[in-house]
Amino acid sequence: MKKIDTIIKNAYLITMNQARDILPNACVAVDSGKILAVGGDELLAQYQADTVIDAAGKCVFPGFISTHSHLFQTMLKGLGRDKFLLDWLNSSVRVALHNFDEETVYYAALHGCMEAIRSGTTTILDYMYAHPIPGLDDCVTRAFEDIGIRGILGRAFTNVGSFPPEIACPTVETEQDFFDNVRRLEKQYRAHPRVGVCMAPGIIWDHTDDGFREMRRTADELRIPITMHLVETPDDDAFSQAHYHEDTIPHLERLGVLGPDFIAVHCVYMKDEDLETFRKYDVKVSHNPNSNMVLASGVARIPEMLEKGIAVSLACDGSASNDTQNMLEVIKAASLMQKVYHRNPSLMPASATVELATLGGARALGRERDLGSIEPGKRADLIVFDPLSPFSAPVHDPVSTLVYACSPDNIKTVLIEGKVVLKDGRFTTIDEEKTIWQAQRLAAKLAEKSGLGNVQWGRKVPPLSL
C-alpha cells in the first residue's frame, strides 16, 4: 500500500469537476498538498494514510475563493455606516488610515482570515492599501503564513494626495516606492506554496498614465495579475471624463492595461461596450454583492457577464463595507440580489453561485488548472460541511442547503494545501480566543486614536469595555 498524508472517506462529494459529478460515497486521497485520487472505497485498499478523516454524513466541497478583501479593515467593522462610497471612506477608513501599525494590521489580517476560513474560504486575495509606515504588507503575509490560508497579497498604492484636506494623510509613498515593494514581495514569495503577490492599483485616480503603463510592463515581466476597483460608482467615469475625456474602461484599454490577468473589482456601472471590452480582453470580474448593497452602489450586470462568457468570481470586500469575511453570506446574496432586482427567480440558481465561489475564483486568479474543484492533480483545498444543524436540516439537496440555509457553524473541517487548518470546528494553527481578544483591544485603541465612533438614536455610542 502506498503511504500518503491524508484520506477522506465516506464523503458526500461535490466535485465541481467538468461533469459536475456528485459522488454520494466517495474517498479523496491527499498527498504533498495535492489531490492524488478521487474514487470509492477501493482507495482505502490502495493507500495507507497518516490521517484518516471520516466524513460519514457530511459533504465535501472545494474551498471557496474570495477575490477581493481589505483585511486591515477588520478593525473598522460597523463604523461609518449608512453612507455612499466616498462619504463612507472619508468618514471612516481614510480617517484611521494613518493610525495603523504593525500589530494592528497583523491581528486585523489574522482575524479576517479566521472568519474567511470558518466560512469555507481557502483562498483570499487581499488588497492592501494602508501604508502609513513601511512594512505593513509583511504583516498581512505573516498572517497568511501563520493561519495557513492560501493568500495573495494585492500590493496597492493609494494616492493620498486625492484625500480631502481635512483628513490629509501624512503618508508619502511614491509610485516608485509602490513598484519597488511589488518587486520585493514578488521575489520573496515566488517559490512559496501558498502565498503570492499581485498588483492592486487603487482606482482610476490613484495612478498616472505612465504608472498604469509601467504596471502592465511589470505584470508581463513578473507574470503576476493586476486587480483594480473599477466603476463601483459613477465617480470613476466622472473623473476619467473630466481628465481624459473618455470613460474609465476605454481609457485603460487605450493605455494597454487590460488583459486576461486583470481582475476588475465591482464593475457595477458597466456599459454595453464595456461588457464587450471585457469579453474581448478576457478581463476577470470580482463581484462583491454585500458591499455593493451596504454602500448602495448598485447591482452589477452579472447574468449578462456570464452569458457573454466573462469569468465572474465572488468576494466579501473589506469588513468596513461588509462587516464580515463570511463568504457564505456573499454566496447567498449573489443569488438573491439578481433574483429580486430582475424579478426573475430563475436567475443565479444555487449551482451557478457555487460555481462562481469555486471555479469562477480559480479562473479569475488564472489558477483554473490547480484550484476550484476536487480532481486529481489539483491543490487539496477542501471543506467538510456538516449539513445537520438546527438551521440547515432537514437536507434534500446539499448544494441548495449550502447556498440558502447554512452558516459557518456547518463548516467543521478545512484543508488548505492538504493541511488541516480547522479540525472539528477548532483551529489547529492559531489561538482563536487570543486573536479575537487582541483584535478587539487593538480595534478599540484605533477607533479612539482616530476619533471614530457611531451615533445611534442621536447619541454617540459608548465604546465596549472588555
Q: Nearer to Zn ion by C-beta: 10 or 291? A: 291
Give min distance, CB of 466 to Zn ion, in A: 30
Give DSSP secondary structure letters for 379-418: B--EEEE---STTT-S-S-HHHHHHHS--GGGEEEEEETT
Give min distance, CB of 133 to Zn ion, in A: 21
Give min distance, CB of 317 to Zn ion, in A: 5
Q: Nearer to Zn ion by C-beta: 137 or 317? A: 317
Which positions from 42 through 101 interact with Zn ion, judged by CB under 5 A? none
Say if CB 149 and CB 421 are below 8 A apart: yes
Closest among 16, 46, 14, 12 to 29, alpha carbons compared: 46
Closest among 61, 62, 64, 99 to 79, alpha carbons compared: 99
- The CB-nearest residue to Zn ion is 317
Which positions from 135 through 154 interact with Zn ion, judged by CB under 5 A? none
How far is residue 250's CA from residue 237's CA, in Å, rounded to a whole number?
A: 10
Q: Nearer to Zn ion by C-beta: 253 or 317? A: 317
Q: Nearer to Zn ion by C-beta: 317 or 386? A: 317
User: In angstroms, how far apart are the furthest CA atoms of the chain?
Assistant: 70
Give min distance, CB of 315 to Zn ion, in A: 8
Q: Nearer to Zn ion by C-beta: 261 or 317? A: 317
Give min distance, CB of 220 to Zn ion, in A: 24
x/- string (CB under 5 A) for Zn ion, residues 232-271? Answer: ----------------------------------------
Q: Nearer to Zn ion by C-beta: 206 or 317? A: 317
Peptide bond into 394 cis (omega under 30): yes
Give min distance, CB of 31 to Zn ion, in A: 37
x/- string (CB under 5 A) for Zn ion, residues 304-333? Answer: -------------x----------------
Q: Tally DSSP H helices, then E strands, for the chain.
A: 17, 19
How far is residue 356's CA from residue 346's CA, in Å, rounded to a whole number?
A: 16
- Residues in binding contact with Zn ion, number by CB under 5 A: 1
Say if CB 28 and CB 73 are below 8 A apart: no
Closest among 286, 301, 307, 304 to 360, alpha carbons compared: 286
- Interface with Zn ion by CB under 5 A: which residues? 317
